[in-house]
């Protein structure tokens, strides 16, 4: 090999190394972005909790809470249902990715392989287009144009970031292809080394955040019982509503001038002769709750005296905790019926399963 060809080979190698140094951070980001989407998609298919809609996910959360029988968990769910759902999704995703099967490493490896093949394809495609062009002297500039265009769908690699190498005197485009292949293989091996020690903190946009977006919806809570509107659109038209309301004690309601906790549900209260207070001197009949203004008037509460067995079990099981939390007692109008106390956790869970 002559001194000129040695110099040319060195120039091409330096070009390839510079270009791969620019590719590296973009490829690293793309690996985790693609893996996050793949993980979210895989979980939706393989984990029953996430195979349905937000309502079915709520049922899974209620089952989880009942199985744990931890009153503090219930408090967190009732006070901040949206945050609790996100936390639940995050824990399920972490368990899925980081359990003994160590799926995260495989997701990352598959993502890298896919992107690496795309980059190699771009190298070969750009070489094929440019190498026999006789009408252009700036072959490297043209090669970079084609290379960035071929990768535009899979990698963020601005063509403007490569201006400093576009005027390189490189005539042997086939040799450039071979050197790029070698340097890219080395880059692939280098990136792959971090996968065995990777964790969920490596993601800029986490898989659980992607899943949470897919299960997002209206987060408005019933002003009487705290249950969340079941509309799947965050800023939907029309009134808020839900299928099952809950005992009003869950929102801290007590009967006026007593320590008796309220076990009635809103959908039965609106057909009663009872009233509720919106300020110190203003009482509104439940039948005319819409006259109370916001937030009450933004809800459509249909008459229904039925109550889920789940909340009957919850109130009975956590009776003392609820009394301590809300500084009241389940007596008088708030006496817990004996029929509620006979409901077992399994019966409550069985009813949820049928929903």
The reported pLDDT for the residue numbered 134 is 66
Alpha-carbon span 19 to 42, nearest angstrom: 33
**Within 10 A of 267 (CB to CB), how many other CB atoms are there?**
22
The reported pLDDT for the residue numbered 133 is 72
**Helices 81-98 and 103-130: crossing angle, nearest 10°?**
80
pLDDT tens-digit readout, 234-253: 889 999 999 899 999 999 99
pLDDT tens-digit readout, 142-170: 889 999 999 998 999 888 888 887 677 77
pTM over 0.85: yes
pLDDT tens-digit readout, 45-73: 999 999 999 999 999 999 999 999 999 99
The angle at the Cα of 78, spanning 73 to 81, to the nearest 5 degrees, equals 95
* Cα distance between the two ends of the chain: 77
Alpha-carbon span 251 to 329, nearest angstrom: 14
**Helices 71-79 and 54-68: crossing angle, nearest 10°?**
150
Residue 188 pLDDT class (50, 70, 90 cuts): very high
Cβ atoms 21, 93 nearer than 8 A = no
Q: Residue ranges per domain, the chain?
A: 3-209, 248-353
């Amino acid at each position: 090999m002559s001194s000129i060809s040695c110099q040319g080979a060195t120039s091409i190698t330096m070009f390839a190394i510079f270009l791969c140094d620019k590719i590296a951070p973009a490829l690293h980001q793309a690996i985790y972005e693609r893996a996050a989407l793949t993980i979210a998609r895989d979980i939706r298919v393989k984990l029953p909790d996430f195979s349905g809609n937000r309502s079915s996910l709520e049922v899974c959360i209620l089952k989880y809470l009942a199985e744990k029988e931890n009153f503090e968990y219930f408090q967190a769910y009732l006070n901040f249902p949206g945050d609790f759902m996100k936390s639940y999704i995050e824990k399920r995703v972490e368990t899925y990715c980081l359990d003994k099967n160590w799926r995260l490493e495989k997701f990352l490896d598959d993502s890298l392989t896919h992107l690496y093949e795309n980059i190699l394809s771009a190298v070969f495609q750009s070489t094929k287009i440019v190498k026999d062009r006789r009408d252009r002297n700036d072959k490297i500039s043209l090669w970079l144009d084609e290379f960035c265009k071929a990768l535009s769908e899979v990698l963020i690699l601005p063509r403007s970031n490569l201006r400093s190498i576009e005027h390189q005197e490189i005539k042997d485009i086939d040799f450039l292809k071979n050197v790029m292949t070698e340097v890219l293989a080395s880059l692939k091996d280098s990136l792959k080394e971090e996968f065995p020690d990777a964790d969920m903190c490596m993601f800029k946009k986490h898989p659980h955040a992607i899943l949470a977006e897919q299960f997002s919806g209206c987060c408005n809570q019933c002003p009487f019982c705290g249950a969340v509107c079941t509309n799947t659109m965050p800023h939907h038209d029309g009134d808020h509503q839900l299928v099952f309301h809950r005992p009003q004690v869950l929102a801290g309601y007590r009967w006026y001038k007593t320590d008796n906790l309220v076990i009635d549900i809103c959908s039965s209260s609106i057909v009663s002769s009872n009233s509720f207070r919106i300020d110190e001197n203003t009482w509104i009949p439940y039948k005319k709750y819409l006259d109370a203004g916001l937030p009450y008037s933004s809800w459509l509460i249909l008459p229904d005296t039925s109550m889920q067995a789940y909340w009957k079990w919850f109130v009975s099981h956590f009776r003392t905790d609820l009394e301590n939390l809300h500084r009241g007692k389940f007596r008088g109008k708030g006496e817990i019926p004996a029929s509620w106390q006979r409901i077992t956790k399994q019966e409550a869970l069985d009813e949820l399963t049928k929903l």
